[in-house]
Structure formats: structure tokens, C-alpha cells
């Protein structure tokens, strides 16, 4: 079997341990929705105990909205801090350190009811947001750097699989019969303690990123030993050669800060692609679909809408697995395009179905089909691909800064959608999906004309492609910039 294609136990162990961070992110994204009424009752009771009067509707809505959206604010800060950790502590140790935040958040949220403090719940949501923001940077970077080139896309998709599995687990655990009850909701929110413990046990058994060891630490023997373990072969000369090539360029290139990333014309193209792909994920309307799903299922006379929403979660997970198997065959760009156009078609169907729901009875079933199709197309392209393609577009020097900027864009868009969607949906009703259709078509056109295919190409070859585009455009660049985008690579 080709060693580049071989999946070894140490490789799967490393990727699996890292992806626990993605699972945590997904879990905390989905966990707050199910017990909304119960937590609102808790806020009301706490308020009454303190002030001897019931809370006003506006104050309750404000506290609830802050509890939900403060998670994204934490994510914004966390994603922007990725570079501070990964270059100082390494990729693996950064993931290990981040679990301190997970434990603090679990304690704050888990004991908020006992302490009769909704403030603890809000601070806990902010802290777990910080953890999730860091994870969305650490996990794709580590997975991309330990994976062989031929498996980088498939293993990169595991980050998204972790996220959707986390959302699904949160939906199931949030059912009233499991942990979504007035007694057990603190346990539901504090459950993140368990995966954090598992990750703390598993990560020390995993190796550090060989790229980090060789390029950042200059520890060639350690990097070679780690590669032999990960690849399950003694001949790792091709991998070592590729990393040394990158290392040689980095000797001549200073580390790229976030400001330099924005100032340099050479990084403009890959940075624009990285940011727009992240926006295509958050502004695609996927959050809107999950928000509307329960209501649509109720209108379709589904006995238990919660089960239908969990069904959408299962479709979510199943199609992420499909993406996992086809991403190295079909390529990133083609899957992203297919996902975007499929979502746009589903959004049009959903708009028609929602608009005619009252007049034509069977439209409710069409809306359910449209929801499942929308979710399926999301997981084929815009769900998994933006996360790992960012790591592929940049060489080792600018990569941490680029991942921080991309993560920041993703979380900021997430926050904006979370805060404004309710208002826009109230104003537009079923036609809210027209907005998302227009956005999806814009992202499709952008991807078609601007995004390169990265399947089966080394980090250095991808970067060299951008360098050639920059040179062809007649822009003047410093030698350091040219080096950082693979000026010496042989295509």
C-alpha cells in the first residue's frame, strides 16, 4: 500500500484526540437551544428572589440573548489569539492548555443554578466561547500538519464531523427525558467536563506536529522520528524534503504578523479567499434553517418536532461522512461549488414552500425535504471545506496569522447572524431565504472565478501558485514575501 495513503494508528489517535476540541465547539453551539424555556424560568426565579418582583420581558430577552451570543464574542477573542499560543507552546500543547478554559466554563455553568446566579452562566458561556475560538484554530492546523498530503482533505473534514457530532449529541442530551429538565440542565451545560478529561488523557500520548518541530524548533531528528511513527514507515524522505524546503524559505522570511498579512499585496489573494470562504459558511443561512426547522416541522403536523430537528442533525452528520470520503476524489473547489449551488436551489424551494404553506397542504412536506437537502448540501461543501483550506493556502510563516484572521471572520459573521437574524426573520417572514439565496449565488461566483483547487498539492506548490499570480500581475514584492509563498519551490 502507498505509504502516503496509509492510515496508521498513531495518525488516527492524534487526529481523534485533536477532534475532541471540534466536538466541544459543536456541543456548545447546539446545547443552549433545547433548554431555553427552563433557563428563562431559572433567570426569572433568580430575579424574583433578589428583587421581589418578576423580571420584565425585555430584561429577560436581553439576558437570554447575551447568554447565547456571548459564546460568539468569546469565540472572536479566542480565534484571534491562536497565533500567540501555537508558535510559543506548539500545536499539541496549545490544545492541552486550552482545556483549562473548558474546566473553568464547566464549573461556572454547572454550579450556576446552585449559586442562583445567571451571571455565572453568562461568564461560563464566554469562557467556553474562548475555548471554542482557540479550538477552531488549533484543530485544523494540527490535523493539516500531521496528515500526509494525500489524506489532508479527508482528515481535515473530521474537524467538521466533530462539530456536527457535537451538535447532534447536544440535541439528543437536551431532550427533556435525558438532561433537558429543570433539575438536570446545569449538568447538560457542565457536561463539557467529560470530553475535556478525555482530551487531557489522550493528547500527551500524541506527538507534536512534525512541521512545528522541524520548522519552528529546528529539531530534525525529533521531526523524523514523529513522521516515521505517523506514517508507519522508515522512509519519510519525501515528507522531510518538503518540510526542509519550507524551512529553508522560512530562514529567509520573518514571521508574518496579522498587520503584515493585510499590508502585503502578495497575501491579498489567499487572504481574501480564506475570509470569503469563512463568510460563505456563516452567511449561507444554515443557522436560519436550524432556527426555522422546529416551526416548520410543527406546521407539517410532525408529532414531536424535536425528533425531526434531531433528524436534521443526523442528516448533517451523515453528509459530513459522505464529504469525508469524496473530498480527495472530487476536490475541494468542486465540492464547495456543488454545496453552494445545491443550497441555493434548496433555499428557493424553501421560500416557495413557506410562502404557500397555508394555501397548499402538501407544501409542508416539500419544506421538510428542502430543509434536509439544504443541510445535506451544506455538509458537502461550505460546512467542512473553509476550515481546512485556510491551512492549505498559506506556508508555515503566515499560516498562524491567516488562521487567526479566518477564524475571526467566521466568529464575527456568526455573532452578526445570531444577533440580527431574529429581527430580519420577523421583518421578512418566509422571504428571509431570498437574502441567503442571493448571498449563496455571490459565493458560488466568487469560488468559481477565484478559488484554486488544492487537492493533492503540497503546501509549497499551492503557495507558489499564488506567488506566480502575484508576479504575473506585475506587483513588486520583497524577497522575504516571495520566499514565504514558495518562491523556490519546483512546480
Look at the alpha carbons of 414, 311, 134, 240 in this order and tell me if their dihedral is positive or negative: negative
Phi, psi of 474 (to 5 degrees): 75, 20
The pLDDT value recorded for residue 420 is 80
pLDDT of 429? 79
pLDDT score of 199: 98
Cα–Cα separations (whole angstroms), residue 465 to 267, 353, 370, 470, 472: 12, 44, 38, 9, 11
- Give me Rg for the CA atoms of the chain: 23
- What b/e sequence results for 195-223 when a residue is b if at least 16 CB atoms lie within 10 Å of its CB, and e otherwise? bbeebbebbeebbbbbbbbbbbeebeeeb
CA–centroid distance for 261 within its chain: 22
Q: Is 204 left (phi over 0), alpha (psi -120 to 50) or beta?
A: alpha
Query: What local confidence, expressed as pLDDT, does residue 472 receive?
Result: 63
Question: What angle do helix axes 305-330 and 286-299 make, rounded to 10 degrees?
Answer: 140
Distance CA 53, CA 59 (A): 13
Give one DSSP letter per residue of 110-136, joined into a string.
Answer: HTTTTTT-HHHHHHHHHHHHHHHHHHH
- What distance separates the 2 farthest-apart alpha carbons in the chain? 74
- The stretches of 429-475 forming alpha helices (DSSP H) are 432-450, 459-472
- Among residues 68, 72, 346, 13, which one has the least CA distance to residue 201? 13
Q: Which helix (H) or strand (E) holds 404?
A: helix 399-428
At 485 the pLDDT is 45
Q: At which residue does the C-alpha cell 489569539 appear?
A: 81
Q: Phi/psi class of residue 365: alpha, beta or left (left: φ > 0; alpha: ψ in -120 to 50)? A: alpha
Residue 288, C-alpha cell as written in the block: 436560519
79-98 b/e (C-beta count within 10 Å ≥ 16 → b): bbbbbebbbeebbbbbbbeb
Contacts of 135 (CB under 8 A, 6+ apart): 21, 22, 24, 25, 78, 95, 98
- Residue 35: enclosing H or E segment and its boundaries? none
Q: What pLDDT sits at residue 490?
A: 28
Query: CA geometry: angle at 372 spanning 319 and 152, to 5°?
Result: 20
Q: What is the pTM of this model?
A: 0.88
* Distance (Å, whole) CA 374 – CA 385: 16
In order of 29, 190, 285, 343, the CA distances from 280 in angstroms are 18, 31, 9, 11
Task: Classify residue 413 by burial, with Cβ atoms within 10 Å: 0-12, 13-18, 19+.
Answer: buried
pLDDT tens string, the chain, 491 residues long: the values are: 444 568 999 999 999 999 999 999 999 998 988 788 899 999 999 999 999 999 998 899 889 888 988 999 999 999 989 989 998 999 999 999 999 999 999 999 999 999 999 999 999 999 999 999 999 999 999 999 999 988 999 999 999 999 999 999 999 999 989 999 999 999 999 999 999 999 999 999 999 999 999 998 999 999 999 999 999 999 999 999 999 988 887 777 667 899 999 999 989 999 999 999 999 999 999 977 776 676 777 776 677 777 888 888 999 999 999 999 999 899 999 999 999 999 999 999 999 988 898 898 888 889 889 999 999 999 999 999 999 899 899 888 898 999 999 999 999 998 888 778 767 877 887 788 999 999 999 999 999 999 999 988 888 788 788 877 765 655 555 544 544 443 333 22
Amino acid at each position: 500500500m502507498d505509504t502516503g495513503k496509509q492510515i496508521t494508528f498513531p495518525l488516527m489517535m492524534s487526529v481523534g484526540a485533536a477532534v475532541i476540541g471540534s466536538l466541544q465547539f459543536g456541543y456548545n453551539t447546539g446545547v443552549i437551544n433545547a433548554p431555553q424555556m427552563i433557563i428563562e424560568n431559572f433567570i426569572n426565579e433568580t430575579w424574583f428572589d433578589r428583587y421581589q418582583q418578576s423580571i420584565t420581558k425585555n430584561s429577560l430577552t436581553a439576558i437570554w440573548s447575551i447568554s447565547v451570543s456571548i459564546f460568539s464574542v468569546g469565540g472572536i477573542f479566542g480565534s484571534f489569539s491562536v497565533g500567540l499560543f501555537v508558535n510559543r507552546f506548539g500545536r499539541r500543547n496549545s490544545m492541552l492548555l486550552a482545556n483549562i478554559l473548558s474546566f473553568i466554563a464547566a464549573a461556572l455553568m454547572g454550579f450556576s443554578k446552585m449559586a442562583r446566579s445567571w451571571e455565572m452562566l453568562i461568564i461560563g458561556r464566554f469562557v467556553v466561547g474562548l475555548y471554542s475560538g482557540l479550538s477552531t484554530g488549533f484543530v485544523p492546523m494540527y490535523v493539516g500538519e500531521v496528515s500526509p498530503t494525500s489524506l489532508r482533505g479527508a482528515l481535515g473534514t473530521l474537524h467538521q464531523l466533530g462539530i456536527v457530532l457535537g451538535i447532534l449529541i447536544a440535541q439528543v442530551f437536551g431532550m427533556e427525558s435525558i438532561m433537558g429538565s429543570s433539575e438536570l440542565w446545569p449538568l447538560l451545560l457542565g457536561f463539557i467536563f467529560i470530553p475535556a478529561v478525555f482530551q487531557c488523557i489522550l493528547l500527551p500520548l500524541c506527538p507534536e506536529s512534525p512541521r512545528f518541530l522541524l520548522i519552528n524548533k529546528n529539531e530534525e531528528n525529533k521531526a523524523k522520528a514523529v513522521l516515521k511513527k505517523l506514517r508507519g514507515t522508515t522512509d519519510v524522505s519525501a515528507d522531510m524534503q518538503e518540510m526542509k524546503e519550507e524551512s529553508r524559505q522560512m530562514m529567509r522570511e520573518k514571521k508574518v504578523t496579522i498587520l503584515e498579512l493585510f499590508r502585503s499585496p502578495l497575501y491579498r489573494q489567499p487572504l481574501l479567499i480564506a475570509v470569503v470562504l469563512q463568510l460563505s459558511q456563516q452567511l449561507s443561512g444554515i443557522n436560519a434553517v436550524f432556527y426555522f426547522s422546529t416551526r416548520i416541522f410543527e406546521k407539517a403536523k410532525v408529532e414531536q418536532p424535536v425528533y425531526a430537528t434531531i433528524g436534521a442533525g443526523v442528516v448533517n452528520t451523515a453528509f459530513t461522512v459522505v464529504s469525508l470520503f469524496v473530498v480527495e476524489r472530487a476536490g475541494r473547489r468542486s465540492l464547495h461549488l456543488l454545496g453552494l449551488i445545491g443550497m441555493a436551489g434548496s433555499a428557493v424551494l424553501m421560500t416557495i414552500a413557506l410562502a404557500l404553506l397555508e394555501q397548499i397542504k402538501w407544501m409542508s412536506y416539500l419544506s421538510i425535504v428542502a430543509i434536509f437537502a439544504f443541510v445535506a448540501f451544506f455538509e458537502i461543501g461550505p460546512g467542512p471545506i473553509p476550515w481546512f483550506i485556510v491551512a492549505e493556502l498559506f506556508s508555515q510563516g503566515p499560516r498562524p496569522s491567516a488562521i487567526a484572521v479566518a477564524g475571526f471572520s467566521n466568529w464575527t459573521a456568526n455573532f452578526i447572524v445570531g444577533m440580527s437574524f431574529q429581527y430580519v426573520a420577523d421583518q421578512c417572514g418566509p422571504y428571509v431565504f431570498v437574502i441567503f439565496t442571493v448571498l449563496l449565488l455571490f459565493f458560488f461566483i466568487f469560488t468559481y472565478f477565484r478559488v484554486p483547487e488544492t487537492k493533492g498539492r503540497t503546501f509549497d506548490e499551492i503557495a507558489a501558485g499564488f506567488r506566480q499570480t502575484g508576479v504575473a500581475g506585475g506587483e513588486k514584492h520583497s524577497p522575504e514575501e516571495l520566499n514565504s509563498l514558495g518562491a523556490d519551490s519546483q512546480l
